[in-house]
Structure formats: structure tokens, C-alpha cells
Amino acid sequence: MNHELKLYCDTTRLSDLRHFLGSILEATPLTEVDQHQVILAVEEVCANLIIHSHDCNPKEYINLTVKESDDVMIFEIMDFGQGFNILEYQEPEISFVKKTKRKGGLGIILVKRIMDKIEFETKANINICRLHKILKSK
């Protein structure tokens, strides 16, 4: 089964995203903690796109498609902004972040740890990020 959300690039719309994901994930075998972590990961990617690729322009949007099967969920995030390949992101050393009190950069680390597989592709001016989460029994 597929679920789709057109998310306009305004950070106030992130609550719509959380509600959308929560209603889908509550019907899965993921634990409540895993559900919250998945919501956090998808929200982090979408928030980064809204802020950095679209400059919070509410006239622009991101498409999110959630594809469900018996053993995996795929969160496909498609946008038309400036591409950012999450797979090429160089994680900072945590000790460096702590020492320099640097803001930002930790969200992508969380995404990589929460999700089981990440794919990124660009076709013409379309960027697609796929986040895979393997479903496990409660």
C-alpha cells in the first residue's frame, strides 16, 4: 500500500508530516520507540530540504510517498530543489562537535543510524531520497 503527502516548504507544516507518519506507523509491527525514531529521521530529511534547499518558500513543496510491504517500509522523499546527497555527507567527530559547540550536523547522523538503508538519486532536476526501515515484530 502507498501513502502520499504533498508537503509545502514551510517549517510549520512539519506537524502535518508527523501526524501523517504517525497514523501510518501505528498500524505497523514497529515498537512505539521505533515509530518515533522513524518519524524523527524522515522529519530531519524533510526539514533540511525545506530549510536549506527551498529557503522555507511556502510556494514550493516536497512529495513524500510511503511504500509498505510485509517486511519493509520505504519513505521516498522527492523534491525539485538544490540536491544534497545524504550518502556523501561526511560525519563530524562527536568530540569535535562537542568541543566547538557547533550547531547542526547531527541530524543526518541520526538518520543514518535509525534507517536500515538509504538511497539517493538525481534525475534531471528531481532529487529522490529513499529511506528504508525493516519491519520487525513487536
- What are the residue boundaries of the structural domains of the chain, listed by start? 2-134
Using the predicted structure, report yes or no on whether residue 57 has a pLDDT greater than 90.
Answer: yes
What confidence category does residue 106 fall into, taking pLDDT thresholds of 50, 70 and 90? low
Helices (H), ranges, the chain = 14-25, 32-48, 94-100, 107-114
Residues 105, 99, 101, CA angle at the centre, nearest 5°? 50
Strands (E), the chain: 2-8, 61-68, 72-79, 117-123, 126-134
- 6-38 pLDDT, tens digit per residue, is 999 999 999 999 999 999 999 999 999 999 999
Residue 92 is predicted with a pLDDT of 54
pTM metric for this prediction: 0.84
Using the predicted structure, report yes or no on whether residue 1 has a pLDDT greater than 90.
Answer: no
The cell numbers describing 128, all together, are 529522490
How far apart CA 88 and CA 119 sit, in angstroms, is 11
Helices (H) and strands (E) in the chain, counts: 4, 5
Domain 2-134 fold is Heat Shock Protein 90 (3.30.565)
